[in-house]
Amino acid sequence: MTTRIPAKAKSILFLLSATGTTTLALHASKPNFSPDLVTSFPQRIGAGISATVRSSRALFTIASNIVDYKYSLHRIDAASDEYGALLSQVHLRAARRILKLCETNKGFYVKAGQFIAAMRQVPKEYAATLSSLQDQAVPCNFQAIKAVLIRNLGKDLSDVFMFFDEHPIAAASIAQVHRALLKDHQEVAVKVQYPGLEQQMILDTSTMSFLSTIVAWIFPEYRFQWAVLEFVKTVSLELDFIQEAKNSERTAKNFLKNKIIKVPAVFWEFTSGQVLTMELCRGNKVDDLEFMKRNHINPLKVGKALVDLFAEMIFIHGFVHGDPHPGNILVSTEGEHGFSLVLLDHGIYRLLDDDFRKEYCKLWKAMILLDAKSIYSIGERFGIGRYAKFLPLIFTGRTIDR
């Protein structure tokens, strides 16, 4: 189903697109980007043009969604069944427009789409539609990747590696991973950041913040401006490979005595802000039951080890992996217990202070003992007041009085 946008409403689209184009063009012209990302005047002009096109495309998409919501639901009683059905249709059309935008603009837009798809708070039409972005990752041209490697390592690849596979073994929205062999025959995985991401992040996240502000102004009930700030914070962390390497070593130290958990070792001599060289660890995704069956690995033992891993992170260390999807947790056939869990991608971590962790322990104790009074009391201290009644439903699937 499609909706024709009335002629008078098109002015909103053109106004937003023109405003955004001007704003982002000004951003693109600022000479405050890292010099090794845009190295010449023609490249800077090209980056400015690309930024203008990308931002204008985003602005037109969101403006189209705004008009669709406004005119499709105009004068419809919000309490009626018709409103609910129409709202679902508009959600779906809007989500499809955003999906097309993410697929076209790529880069951080794909990352943002993945971020939205993972949020429980968004309408189901958005989560379902944008979830297709989880598997989208187009590898970067190797010549561009090679330039990033040489610039960061300060040497030609032949001076560092005995072998370097030009074909990536994994690719994501901000980096790709290549298999290589160091001069001492150590097999490594080299994670390389796509060129120009720092500049692109500034431009794309500026556009997203601008759009979020516009939507909040037009729709006072919109409550997702915090999500843009969280996304920007998360992406900024992922772009710093030095910090990722430090997080990796801290986690390895935390689980030094745990013979089931494996964290790849970092090779600091060949690591920088845009290149991360680490020990190559083989394995299959933690949800690959067929792999476990073929290798006689008990999925229940893997599940218990996984629960123990994150329970220890939360309750003991207070240093928690922030992106634990199946692609970042591998099951390996190596290990004293017949298998091991390989923990990858340490860019995002959450620090939990002692007070929070103690309260969180008390919350679980209260839920297990069906102590509704304590649950409400803890909810007050967490700042969620009467909404504490939903905590047992979220964590255990049962209501507070069951």
Give catalytic residue positions.
323
Rounded to a whole number of angstroms, the distance between the first and last alpha carbons of the chain is 43
Question: Measured between alpha carbons, how far is 53 from 353 in angstroms, rounded to an integer?
Answer: 44
Give me 159's structure tokens. Answer: 């001076």
What are the distances in angstroms from CA 13 to CA 100, 189, 207, 329? 17, 46, 15, 43
3-state secondary structure of 347: coil
Question: Measured between alpha carbons, how far is 346 from 319 in angstroms, rounded to an integer?
Answer: 11
Pairing of strands 175-182, 275-279: unpaired
Residue entry with tokens 């008078």: 8
If phi over 0 gives left and psi between -120 and 50 gives alpha, with beta otherwise, what is residue 34?
beta
Question: Measured between alpha carbons, how far is 331 from 151 in angstroms, rounded to an integer?
Answer: 34
Return the number of other C-beta atoms located less than 10 Å from residue 91's C-beta: 20
With contact defined as beta carbons under 8 Å apart, do 159 and 269 qualify?
Answer: no
Q: Which of 1, 9, 2 is closest to 71 using CA atoms?
A: 9
Give me 107's structure tokens. Answer: 């880069």
**Which residues, 6 or more positions from 156, have their beta carbon under 8 angstroms from its beta carbon?**
150
3-state secondary structure of 278: strand
Helix ranges restricted to H, 106-196: 108-117, 124-130, 142-153, 157-160
Rg (CA), the chain: 24
Residue entry with tokens 């290589």: 180
DSSP state of 327: G
Q: Which 3-state string (H, E, C) describes 39-61?
A: CCHHHHHHHHHHHHHHHHHHHHH
CA count, 13 A, side-chain hemisphere, 181 = 5
